[in-house]
Structure 1
Amino acid sequence: MRIVDVREKTYPISSSIRNAYIDFSRMTLSLVAVVTDVVRDGRPVVGYGFNSNGRYGQGAMLRERFVPRLLEADPDGLLDDAGTLDPHRVWDAMMVNEKPGGHGERSVAVGTVDMAVWDAVAKIEEKPLYRLLAERYGDGEGDPRVFVYAAGGYYHPGQDLRALQEEMRGYTARGYSVVKKKIGGASLEEDRRRIEAVLEALEPGQRLAVDANGRFGRETALAYAEALEEYDPFWYEEPGDPLDFELQAEIGRRYSGALATGENLFSVQDARNLVRYGGMRPEKDWLQFDCALSYGLVEYLRILDMLRDHGWSPRRCIPHGGHQMSLAIAAGLGLGGNESYPDLFQPFGGFPDGTAVEDGYVTIPDLPGIGFEGKADLYAVMRELGER
């Protein structure tokens, strides 16, 4: 069994939307195809991966460092004892000559290839990835039914409160029970009006989460925390800089509701520091580490082990990113759910065609690998790269 090629290409996922910190007018991502010499149904097995929105394409690092290391590695050194492609050994090969620390954009490049490798491994075994993960690391069965929430509520040019309400009603009409909107890109007074407009549009049992994207300093973060007490959101996400653990801990001491953070922490070391020093409460708060941004599933497994050692349940993890890789991890390893982008960052966001959201949950179809082939618009882009 061999990796015979690794291909990458940068794709635009640009949009006129913005959050509290950035706009998405020039947003890109990297798509990777890992081509193997294994043949199924007369065609080589190809695994696919891409990085999450919010970080840009990683083409330079992929071409200059990580892909060459992988292709130059001893092919037998990438296999496990049974002669099957081993994602952990692939990960080790990519990280040769990388110093500790520096968990920035390189974690995104490695995570993108890692996703493609896991997709290939599950396809070679002719199993859905979630089931392979449950067999290797979970309870042996997994649960294909996963909680998802609808991430939206960005600041759109010209969008008034009525249009914001219609956007949120569109999500709940499709079966979502939790929706999310951005805060911090306007004044507190305007954000309060936006929050109240969304709450007015929700039905009993439906919840609103809010996300500041790390925008606030101490005074503003605490002012929003005080204001949010009135609204009891599903969570108050990333109020301050993601590495400001002291601020995170102070907010946790002064805010009675649930907090969420972690999407911009890219290693087990950073995740451990959050748990140690960020004042996160394992009975109440949520962790949003995203494997596609943080060295992939190989590193995410280490993060889950670390969390258990610190008294956290995997059920408190709801990854950022809205991609099917995290959906498979949630189903296979018992996470609390996954983010979803019903209308944004297409064709890379969303679920396989025909997958319906029911009462806030989706059921993953029984497709080999991550299941990208079940989403026609996405697979058309992938196949163009992987089968050229």
Structure 2
Amino acid sequence: MVRIVDIREVTRPIASPIRNAYIDFSKMTTSLVAVVTDVVRDGRRVVGYGFNSNGRYGQGGLIRERFAPRLLEAPPESLLDADGGNLDPNRVWAAMMANEKPGGHGERSVAVGTLDMAVWDAVAKIADKPLFRLLAEHHGVVAEPCVFVYAAGGYYHPGKDLAALRAEMRSYLDRGYTVVKMKIGGASIDEDQRRIEAVLAELGHHGHARLAVDANGRFDLETAIAYAKMLRRYDLFWYEEPGDPLDYRLQTALAEFYPGAMAVGENLFSHQDARNLIRYGGLRPDRDWLQFDCTLSYGLSEYLRTLKMLHEAGWSWRRCIPHGGHQMSLAIAAGLGLGGSENYPDLFQPYGGFPDGVRVEAGQVTLPELPGIGFEGKSDLHAVMRELAE
């Protein structure tokens, strides 16, 4: 019988002197967890790993004091699948959420999502399959290991002028990306327009490359509309999160002023909040994008409920491009046919990026056939993970 024998957590810095329109990252942290099982492969215990996405701080206290103890105290058989040969992520999730009231989808969703990532990693390793193939099999679809990725960057940084911003974006294009993203809303609208036009001028030298912009929820309705009127003169990939993530009225009103694609959802942390966005946010399923991040929103087990809701509401899963820039989102995109995944080529390392040797070609990456999520293929990340596990 498969058992979870230990759960370990460490909160580590991923600090950087960058900022977006709302926060700086000078004190940013992430929680790294290892879920140790009694299953042995090649002389080593199978360990599932997880961590939370950037932009939300590590949740070591909640993990160590509330959620990990529930898993370790649960009867081992209550966490297993019907055959008893593997962990059942949904049963594990239910054990973590025992004695939790509904609502309040804030910090606890990050703690649960971090552990959930590690559980899915362990489950796929025990099955000796890449997670993306396991997901495809469970849902009766064909896995698509070739996934669209875009490069997220363009942060505000002390001393970063337009030449430096152009050089950053050029470096992404030189590495094979066809879509790049930059921050707006942390400067005046006139300065942001100059920054946008500088990047677009750079992209003009690289064929059909596109630019997305991200306001990180900074604007009230009046400012969001002012930016929309400025932005609509450009052929942008999307206009991201203009206002507070729970201000569905703002999002609805903005569609009247911005005919192009908008992207939202990275700061909604439950399938109930995602459902309210779809019901009341005025989004357009023919052009807008959804960025729900499973590691911030109770994990893949909850994300699957969000995807079910989207299907019932008439949305294609192709409109989902998850936030986070990590291999978990990549695996979900490849296994379930999402529209792609975010990536941070130079930031938040070693947690972001791809396994060693994976290269971006024409805006896409091909996932290697590694068991689990594939962390073992990224040497700098795996070294940190093994240090925690051993």
Q: TM-score by structure 1 length?
A: 0.99
The aligned residue for residue 136 of structure 1 is: 138
Give the 5 Å matches for 1:1-388: 1-83=2-84, 84-139=86-141, 141-202=142-203, 203-387=206-390
**Which amino acid counterpart does residue 291 of structure 2 have in structure 1?**
Q
The 3-state SS of whatever aligns with 2:61 is helix
Whether the 8 Å CA contact 1:165–1:201 is kept in 2: the answer is yes
TM-superposed deviation, 1:254:
2.1
**Which amino acid counterpart does residue 195 of structure 2 have in structure 1?**
R
Q: In 1, Cα distance between the equivalents of 2:330 and 2:389?
A: 22
Q: In 2, Cα distance between the equivalents of 1:61 and 1:119?
A: 21
The 3-state SS of whatever aligns with 1:292 is helix
Whether the 8 Å CA contact 1:133–1:332 is kept in 2: the answer is yes
Q: In 1, Cα distance between the equivalents of 2:124 and 2:40?
A: 13
Q: In 2, Cα distance between the equivalents of 1:313 and 1:254?
A: 24
The 3-state SS of whatever aligns with 1:254 is coil
TM-superposed deviation, 1:385:
0.5
**Which amino acid counterpart does residue 256 of structure 1 have in structure 2?**
P
Q: In 1, Cα distance between the equivalents of 2:169 and 2:27?
A: 25
Q: In 1, Cα distance between the equivalents of 2:10 and 2:41?
A: 25
TM-superposed deviation, 1:252:
1.4
TM-superposed deviation, 1:156:
1.0
Q: In 2, Cα distance between the equivalents of 1:334 and 1:143?
A: 7
The 3-state SS of whatever aligns with 2:12 is strand
Whether the 8 Å CA contact 1:149–1:340 is kept in 2: the answer is yes
Whether the 8 Å CA contact 1:11–1:29 is kept in 2: the answer is yes
Deviations 1:235-256 (A, max 9, x none): 0000000000000011112210
**Which amino acid counterpart does residue 91 of structure 2 have in structure 1?**
R
Unaligned runs of 5+ in 2: none
Q: What is the CA RMSD across the aligned residues, in angstroms?
A: 0.5
The 3-state SS of whatever aligns with 1:156 is coil
Deviations 1:312-364 (A, max 9, x none): 00000000000000100000000000000000000000000110000000000
Q: In 1, Cα distance between the equivalents of 2:10 and 2:65?
A: 14
Q: In 2, Cα distance between the equivalents of 1:88 and 1:238?
A: 30
Whether the 8 Å CA contact 1:138–1:333 is kept in 2: the answer is no
Deviations 1:191-234 (A, max 9, x none): 00000000000122100000000000011000000000111210
**Which amino acid counterpart does residue 266 of structure 1 have in structure 2?**
F
The 3-state SS of whatever aligns with 1:239 is coil
Unaligned runs of 5+ in 1: none
Q: TM-score by structure 2 length?
A: 0.98
**Which amino acid counterpart does residue 136 of structure 1 have in structure 2?**
H
Structure 1 residue ranges, 4+ long, deviating more than 3 angstroms after superposition? none
The 3-state SS of whatever aligns with 1:208 is strand
Q: In 2, Cα distance between the equivalents of 1:85 and 1:11?
A: 28
Aligned length: 386
**Which amino acid counterpart does residue 110 of structure 1 have in structure 2?**
V
Whether the 8 Å CA contact 1:143–1:331 is kept in 2: the answer is yes
The 3-state SS of whatever aligns with 2:256 is helix
Whether the 8 Å CA contact 1:138–1:332 is kept in 2: the answer is no
